[in-house]
Structures are given as structure tokens and as C-alpha cells.
Amino acid sequence: MYSRPYEPDGCCNALPLLHLLRKLLSHPATILGSVGFGLVVGFQFPTFSHGLRPIAQVYIALLSMCLLPILVSALPWGIGQMLRTPQTRELFGRMAVIYAVGLLIPCVVGLAVAGIFQPGAALGEEAKALLGSELQGAGPGAETGGLLGFVETMIPPNVFAALSKGQFISIVFFAALAGLGLGVVRAPGADEALRVLNALYQTFSTVFSWVLIPLPIGLFSIVAYNISQAERELLNALLAYVAFFWLAGLLVIAAHAIVLSIATRTAPWRPFVALKTPLVLAFATDNPFIALYSAIDALQKHYRVRREVADTIVPFGVLANQHGQVLLFAFTAPFLAQVYGVELGPTALLTLGLGVIVSGAAAVAGGAALAPILAPVLLGAGVPDALAVVILATTQPMVANLSSTVTVQATCNLAVLTARGRTEQVAAEEPPSKGPDEEMP
């Protein structure tokens, strides 16, 4: 008589092999290698890389599938739980100060790199002629309604329509209001509603963790396909723009890593190890929202940030803490001034600085759609805005990924620095979080 169910030969050996395979796929070297391999294949074999489009789109769809459920459950739960807990309620003021000061980093770095290296002044006549010819064929940019237009798009007249269309600004606005309501209402069912939201968040977070298992394969396909779509001739003309923007982006990333390592008393490379998954996801997909869950998870695991704090700050940050877009605007504006031969004095630089912070902090668009947002800032500093749409659209495949990575890292910094005081108080009484399935007290 057998005392256990029948098991086929090799069944017992299969589980360790599957565990080993999953560990190998999730290793940082495998993830980074897949991104690097995708870059090489995308450049060298564009035809083959273009054929990876179905795989890339399917994997992006899988990554995006749980984003809205996570967003509409994590943000109201986080805000509601923070407001209902006296120990975390005071963190809102701290977050506002850190948020405002932090936006100065990408602004100053972008203006400084463009001003020191003068990439626009070194642009050749042939490159300028090519940009001029592209400008003639470029259609009008998207219209902008200014501040009131932004507010109008932020408030959803129909929440369900906003959810079905994936209008993140409207969804975040509604979810934040719902969280505020749950945080202040004294009805008996409010606590139960928060527990339901918490259960939904953990459910979709678990599903998202399953989707991350074949991450290297998906990242390779996404990167290779995106690189194969780049317009090579125009990118060659704007090589200096791309190269120096990357320099500025890497400097901002280094600055954030240093700030985080000092605040947490860890080695300077530790932030890259702890945040590897959200940073790689943001870089490969050019979408900080896709890194939402993995950022929350990494903050809990490696920095002991409380669930309600991470669930509040990370969704807010990937929408309204867009350090990558601020950096892009702060670098592009003086670049265009150099192309047109416009001298930027102290007053113009101050105007640009304030303008790029205000306009870029919540600029969730990409490519040519950013031109109407940047245009008022350029015109306010006396810089023509005609070439903005061509440059932003042409260089998007080479700069947008880095921009998204900067935004995700800055948002993680915002969460850690905001929660630092509270984290130190509870460190002795709370074990580190082990993932989405463990509910923190």
C-alpha cells in the first residue's frame, strides 16, 4: 500500500529545477543582460527586431493588466490608512517639503549640463537643415488649455469611462479623493472597506508577481522592437543632444542614489540593488506606472517603508513627481536657445527653471505631445518653440526610457525620505515586510 499519491518519475526533482529557473530569470545580471542584448539586436537587426512586435505588445499588455486594479486599491487604502493612523498622519507635511526640494535636482542638473557643454551650439549646419526639413512635415502639436485645461482633464465627469480609457490623471484624482473620504469618515464600514481594498491590492499584486517571472524575455522583445523603430538619420543629427541628456540623467540618478545612501546609512550602490526591478521595468517599458507594484514591494522589503506610506506616495509620485520630465525640459530648453543663438541671462534662466518644474512635474505625456507643455516655458524665456516638437518626437526612443527611470527612482527616494523618521521609530518593533502577501500592522 502506498502512503502517498502516485508521483511520476522526476516529479520531486522538477520543483527544485523550476525554483532554480525562476531564481535565474529574476537575477539582476539576467535582467540587465536582456536589456543590453535587446539594445544590440535592435540596432544591428532592425528587421528581425520589428518582428518581435507581437511579443512586446503581449508582454506590455500583461504588465499593464493589473495596473489599474493595483492603483485604485493601493492609493485609497494608503491615504485612508495614513489618515486613520495618528503616527503617520503628520507625514503629509514632511512629504510636501521633500517633494518641493527634490524637484530642484533635475532642474539644476539639466540646466547646468546644457549650459556647460553647449550641445545646441555645436550642432552642424547639415543637422540644422535636416531638422528644418522635418519641421515642415511635422503637423501641429497637441493643443493645451494651460492650467485650467489641465484641471479640466484631471476631474473625471464619469469615473467608469476614465477607468475604461486608462486616464491615469483622472483615476489618481478620484482614488485620492476616495482615500481622503475613507480616512476622515467615522462610519463603521470604513475600516471594513479599507480591509477589502487591501485584499484586492494583495490579490492583484500576486498576479503581477507571476507576470514578472518571464521578465527577461519580455524586456528583450520590448527593447529590441522599440530601438528598431528609431529614425537613424535624425538621431545621428541629434547625437550630441542624446549623449549629453544621458550624461545629465546619469548625474541625477547618481545624486538620488547618494542622497538615499546617506539617508539610510548604506553603501552608494545599495539603492541600485534594492530598486533593481522597478528601475529596470521603468527603463525597458518607458512607463513608470508599470513599475508601480515592484516599487512598492521593494520599498517594503528593503527600506522597511510602511504599506500605507508606500501605497500613498508611489502612485502619487509616478504621476506628479516626474523628475525625468523636469530634467528633459530643463535640458531641452537651453539646447533650443543655443540652436537659435538666444542668450539666456539670469532672469531667463530663473524663468526657465520655475517653468520647467511647474510644467514638467506632472507631464505624463511623451514625445511630440510634450511640445505644447514646454512651449509656454520657452516663449516666456524668449526662445522660439518651433523645433521643440521635432526634437522631442525624434529623440523619444533614446531618452524617454532614461526619463522614466529617473522618475521612478525619485519617487522611491520621496517615499523613503518621507517615511524615514517613522521607519526609525518602528524598526525595533516591526519585522521587515516580506512581500505583498504579508499585511503590516
Domain ranges of the chain: 86-187+231-426
Q: Which of 198-207, 211-220, 227-236, 429-438 has the lowest mean pLDDT?
A: 429-438
Q: What is the structure's pLDDT at 331?
A: 95
- In percent, how much of the chain has pLDDT > 70? 78
Average pLDDT over every residue of 399-428:
79
**Residue 318 and residue 288 in contact, taking contact as beta carbons nearer than 8 Å:** yes
pLDDT interval class at 231 (50, 70, 90) = low
- Please give the angle made by the CA atoms of 78, 80 and 86, to the nearest 5 degrees: 100
Q: What is the structure's pLDDT at 365?
A: 63
Would you state the cell numbers that stand for residue 281, as one nine-digit string?
521595468
Nearest CA to 41 among 295, 276, 314, 223?
223
- In percent, how much of the chain has pLDDT > 90? 19
Query: Does the pLDDT at position 216 exceed 90?
Result: no
Q: What is the structure's pLDDT at 163?
A: 78
d(CA 56, CA 235): 23
pLDDT interval class at 127 (50, 70, 90) = low
pTM of the model: 0.68
Query: Does the pLDDT at position 283 exceed 60?
Result: yes
Q: What is the structure's pLDDT at 245?
A: 95
**Residue 261 and residue 270 in contact, taking contact as beta carbons nearer than 8 Å:** yes
CATH of 86-187+231-426, one of 3.30.200.20, 1.10.3720.10, 1.10.3860.10, 3.40.50.300: 1.10.3860.10
Q: What is the structure's pLDDT at 15?
A: 61
